[in-house]
Amino acid sequence: MKSTRSKAAAPRLPRRWRTPPPLTRGSESLEGMEILREVGGEVGILLWQAYRNVMFWATTEQGERGRLFSAEAGRKRAAELAEARIPDELRGPLSAFADMLSAPDSTSGEAMAQACTGVARWAEDEGHLNTALAYMQAASVASQRNARLALTVGKLARRRNELARSETWFRHTVMVARQTGDWESYSRAYIALGNMLIARGNLPAAAKMHIKALRAARRKGLQQIQGMALHDLFVIADELGRDEQAEEYARQAFRAYGSSHPSLPILGHDIAYFWMQRGYFGQALEVFQRLEGHVEDARTRLLLASNIARAAAGTGNRELFRKAWTQVYRMIKDPEQQGIVANATLELALGAAALGEWDRAEQAAQEALEQAMKLGQGKVRFRAESLLESVARGRTAQVKMSESRRAPVKVETLAHDLIRSLDQVPFTAGV
């Protein structure tokens, strides 16, 4: 017979989070070599020496640091700095590194992290991204419980397209942030990991990352990050063809952002494009037109003009379509816009087909196909090829390619609220 006595629960040990150490080197044969190549000259040598010193110091056990450098090392470095021609922004940090050589056992990690961050800011302003990355890494290694520093390293590595290194730093951020209770960095790191998975095409895994970010942001009341996670979840659901889920995420993202968030125009554009893809051309067109006066960069203006052309065609507004058509063809002459020409002309082709303007549809679809093949844009190429086949059938049947749909009340309500917010808040943004 089994005993009815309850057994005392065994004490639970705290969960220990472990991730592999983040990558601190790329393909360079000597640590910090990119600093010498990028900055060069006397300043480059001083920055390289200081970087090596800081990394040596930061990776040594605290009780062993007093024996790292000779008593003369700090004085010698200070004398070199006094003779060197150094940018004003670097004098303070380089002096702090020299002081560390003189007193390595009494120097704090926070002081070294602050000095390294100063060098990284200068390097980034000068366009020396390798140097900025190296020094942000040094800052994070020096102050190992600062999750924000680790997150910044991941972002810099991503900017340099060092995706493997970037991912290790984002995962390191998650670990450090959880240990220290920095839930903002924790959530942002998961969003960054999710976006990397989106870029790889692994949408289900990306959704899991964004849901982790969303849950943490909700628990800790991080409204802005809730909006970011919901926005990305909307995009993922759209890509996966989960329309109802996408609509719900879009509404939640709009509420989370509020009317003054700088990302509201980006969300507005994404929602409008979602509607346009589903035939709600009237609501999409209103949002696109509200955005048009609030953007400055050429890429954004081109994308908006092509979307306005297609949405106008969907509503049957032939005059506005042709005006936007002319605008797009004027803007795609800019060599800097070649990367999005295929997307823009594809939207024109879809608009022309909706109006039954077959010559225009064929012209734009052919240009989209050629540009997509040239740049290896597989998704656009597939859509352009399919459209050209449809245009051929449409010429024979003489029927329009798409019809505008009546939007349900929930779409009309969100469109009204979104347009009102865009009208009230002045901003300049790219979509």
Out of 143, 167, 194, pick the residue that ends a domain. Answer: 143
The answer to whether position 238 is within a domain reads yes
Tell me: do 294 and 280 sit in the same domain.
yes
CB-based contacts of 68, cutoff 8 Å, min separation 6: 56, 57, 60, 104
Write phi, then psi, for 324 (nearest 5 degrees): -70, -35
d(CA 285, CA 291): 10
Question: Is 16 part of any domain?
Answer: no
Residue 68 pLDDT: 95
For 87-101, give the DSSP string. -HHHHHHHHHHHHHH
Residue 381 and residue 373 in contact, taking contact as beta carbons nearer than 8 Å: yes
For residues 83 and 59, is the Cβ–Cβ distance under 8 A? Answer: no
Do residue 149 and residue 126 come from a single domain? no
- Domain endpoint, select from 222, 257, 292: 257
Is residue 89 a part of any domain in this protein? yes
Q: Domain holding 176: CATH number?
A: 1.25.40.10
If asked whether residues 135 and 169 sit together in one domain, one would say no
Together in a domain, 133 and 241: no
Is residue 379 exposed (0-12), middle (13-18) or buried (19+ Cβ within 10 Å)?
Answer: exposed
- Domain enclosing residue 138, as ranges: 23-143
Same-domain pairing of 243 and 338: no
**What gap in Å lies between CA 93 and CA 104, rounded to an integer?**
15
Are 161 and 213 found together in one domain?
yes
Residue 15 lies in a domain: no
- Residue 399, pLDDT score: 45
Residue with tokens 């989960």: 242
Residue 401 and residue 282 share a domain: yes
According to DSSP, residue 69 is labeled S
- Are residues 119 and 95 part of one domain? yes
Residue 206 within a domain: yes
Confidence (pLDDT) at 389: 93
* pLDDT at 234 (0 to 100): 98
Sorted by sequence, the CB contacts under 8 Å of residue 362 that are 6+ apart come out as 349, 388, 391
CA nearest to 238, candidates 272, 283, 200, 191: 272
8 belongs to a structural domain: no
Based on the fold, state whether residues 171 and 237 are members of the same structural domain: yes
pLDDT computed for residue 402 by the predictor: 57
CA angle 339, 382, 289 (to 5 degrees): 55
287 and 355, same domain (yes or no): yes
CA 120 – CA 143 distance, rounded (Å): 15
Structural domains in the chain (count): 3
* Cα–Cα distance, 351 to 334 (Å, whole number): 22
pTM confidence score: 0.88
* C-beta of residue 283 within 8 angstroms of C-beta of residue 418: no
SS3 string, 349-387, reads HHHHHHCCCHHHHHHHHHHHHHHHHHHCCHHHHHHHHHH
Q: Is residue 17 part of a domain?
A: no
**Are residues 295 and 246 part of one domain?**
no
Identify the pLDDT of residue 29: 63
pLDDT tens track of the chain, all 431 residues?
444 444 444 455 444 446 678 988 876 667 889 999 999 999 999 999 999 999 999 999 999 999 999 889 999 999 999 999 999 999 999 999 999 999 999 999 999 999 999 999 999 999 999 999 999 999 999 999 999 999 999 999 999 999 999 999 999 999 999 999 999 999 999 999 999 999 999 999 999 999 999 999 999 999 999 999 999 999 999 999 999 999 999 999 999 998 878 889 999 999 999 999 999 999 999 999 999 877 878 999 999 999 999 999 999 999 999 999 999 999 999 998 999 999 999 999 999 999 999 999 999 999 999 999 999 999 999 999 999 999 988 776 544 555 678 889 999 999 999 999 988 765 554 45
Same-domain status, 182 and 119: no
Give one DSSP letter per residue of 283-296, joined into a string. HHHHHHHHHHTT--
Q: Which of 219, 234, 257 is the last residue of a domain?
A: 257
Per the structure block, which two tokens stand in for 268?
């507005």
Q: Indicate whether 39 belongs to any domain.
A: yes
